[in-house]
Amino acid sequence: MFRPLTFSTTAMANTKSALKAARKSERQTIRNKGVKTRLKTLHKKFSAASESGDADAIKVAGPAYASAMARATKSGLIHRNAASRATSRVSKALVK
């Protein structure tokens, strides 16, 4: 009848639509964790490049970080002001 739940939390869903929402939530949580981890990695690379002052590394890491933030914003994972702040910092570092 219903597909068995495969995630760790116990769903207290009473309807088919609530079960589906619980499954979707689990899938989205896994995907969002991956995206957030990638954002943290890109931020660390950009910060390291900025602190070292390596212009070539900044030119590579900066746009990659800003682009990833923009994509995360488009999907609603990151607030638009946070992405704007990150983009501003990247452009400021590229000008230096």
pLDDT by residue (tens digit) across 43-55? 999 999 999 989 9
**Confidence (pTM):** 0.78
Instruction: Please give the Cα distance from 83 to 90 (Å, whole number).
Output: 11
Q: Express each pLDDT in 50-88 by its tens digit.
A: 999 899 999 999 999 999 999 999 999 999 999 999 999
Cβ atoms 21, 7 nearer than 8 A = no
Q: Where are the beta strands (DSSP E) in 7-78?
A: none
